Amino acid sequence: MADLKDKTALVTGASRGIGKAVAERLARDGATVAVHYSTNKDAAQETVSAIQKAGGQAFSVQAEFGTPGDVDDLFAGLTDGLERYAGQARLDILVNNAGIMGGVPPEKITPELFDRLVAVNAKAPLFIVQRALEIMPDGGRIINISSGLTRVANPDEIAYAMTKGAVEMISLHYARHLGPRKITINSVAPGLTDNGSPVFDVPEAVEQMAQLSAFGRVGRPEDVADVVAFLASPDGRWVTGAFLDATGGTLLG
Ligand code: NDP
């Protein structure tokens, strides 16, 4: 378990699913965690409570990406919380996790849907990185959550996969820029991961999804959180600009 004592972290989309597991893991490793959410305040509070119950430190911060002033809202809440809980507005670890899927066949993609996917999944992460760097010390960590769908085809998720390709470009190109500051930035790509959505309650669907992984099961949020935790830890210092396959072997074909 990494020692993130005295470190601070922001995990976007930490009210549920993978983000929640990442927030809990980083807090367990000692970081003070900002648990970001969009609309689900109760769920975010549950994440904060779970962290506190386990002896960790966390606070919630709200911002709806894809709306005017989204990044300003996020950083207003973040800096306020950091000052209150960590004594200063300093961010050591950023995990760009929040994301939405498309789920429509190619014939049904509309310009509006495309714009929304880009705004939430690609534009927000880019400008969150830009702002985070103003309060991130040398040696910081940035992890962007991509998807296995940048490597395997799913026609119902063309626009979504395009945004995740963009996320990977943030990591690649910023990595060169941030090297002198010893800040690492990487992409982690989950495969099908049980985020508590109703489809994961349907045994036949789960069985079918499980077959895609080399390990014969769907991913658990903790499977991805552990990979993120490695990159966030001191052990991850020599990895930057990388694409980490956290799909449980789904990309092996
Ligand atoms: P969930 O759908 O379980 O949770 C999404 C999170 O993002 C929630 O915290 C939600 O907040 C937040 N969010 C949603 N819309 C917005 C918005 N407009 N602005 C700000 N925050 C928003 O996500 P998953 O755990 O399934 O996925 C997490 C990441 O992993 C995503 O980037 C996803 O693309 C990626 N991924 C997931 C896979 C999977 O199988 N689960 C597979 C591959 C990649 P709130 O609760 O307030 O709505």
In a domain, 2, yes or no: no
In a domain, 54, yes or no: yes
Decide: residue 68, CB within 10 A, 0-12 exposed, 13-18 middle, 19+ buried: exposed
50-79 pLDDT tens trace: 999 999 999 999 999 999 999 999 999 999
Count of CB atoms situated within 10 Å of the CB of 217: 17
| pTM: predicted TM-score of the whole model, two decimal places | 0.98
Ligand 1 proximal residues by C-beta, below 6 Å: 13, 15-19, 37-40, 43, 64-66, 97-100, 120, 145, 147, 190, 192-193, 195
127-139 pLDDT tens trace: 999 999 999 999 9
pLDDT at 154 over 90: yes
Cα(73) to ligand 1 centroid in Å equals 18
85-128 pLDDT tens trace: 999 999 999 999 999 999 999 999 999 999 999 999 999 999 99
In a domain, 3, yes or no: no
Q: How far apart are CA 95 and CA 10, in angstroms?
A: 6
In a domain, 140, yes or no: yes
Q: How confident is the model at residue 253 (pLDDT cuts 50, 70, 90)?
A: confident
Helical H runs in 70-193?
70-86, 111-118, 124-132, 158-178
Please state the separation of Cα 177 from the chain's center in Å.
21
In a domain, 253, yes or no: no
Name the residue at shortest CA distance from atom 34 of ligand 1: 99
Q: How confident is the model at residue 162 (pLDDT cuts 50, 70, 90)?
A: very high
Percent of residues, the chain, with pLDDT higher than 70: 99
Which phi and psi angles does 197 have, rounded to 5°?
-65, 155
Mean pLDDT of the chain: 98
User: In the prediction, which pLDDT does 199 show?
Assistant: 97
pLDDT at 140 over 90: yes
Ligand 1 pocket test: pick from 38, 71, 72, 117 the residue with the most ligand atoms within 8 Å of its Cβ: 38
Which of 37, 85, 160, 174 does the annotation list as catalytic? 160
Angle, CA 195 vertex, CA 4 and CA 104 arms, to 5°: 125
Query: Beta strands 57-62 and 93-96: pairing type?
Result: unpaired
CATH number of the domain enclosing 188: 3.40.50.720
37 is catalytic: no
How large is the average pLDDT for residues 195-218? 98
- Split into its structural domains, the chain has a count of 1
Name the residue at shortest CA distance from atom 44 of ligand 1: 147
Q: How far apart are CA 127 and CA 132, in angstroms?
A: 8
In a domain, 174, yes or no: yes
Two tokens, residue 242:
């990388």
In a domain, 82, yes or no: yes
Q: How far apart are CA 90 and CA 142, in angstroms?
A: 14
Name the residue at shortest CA distance from atom 18 of ligand 1: 65
pLDDT at 1 over 80: no
Cα(140) to ligand 1 centroid in Å equals 23
Task: Give the domain extent around 205.
Answer: 8-248
Query: Which atom number of ligand 1 is nearest to the Cα of residue 65?
Result: 19
In a domain, 1, yes or no: no
28-37 pLDDT tens trace: 999 999 999 9
Cα(180) to ligand 1 centroid in Å equals 32
Q: What are the distances in angstroms from CA 215 to CA 27, 194, 212, 218? A: 28, 15, 8, 8
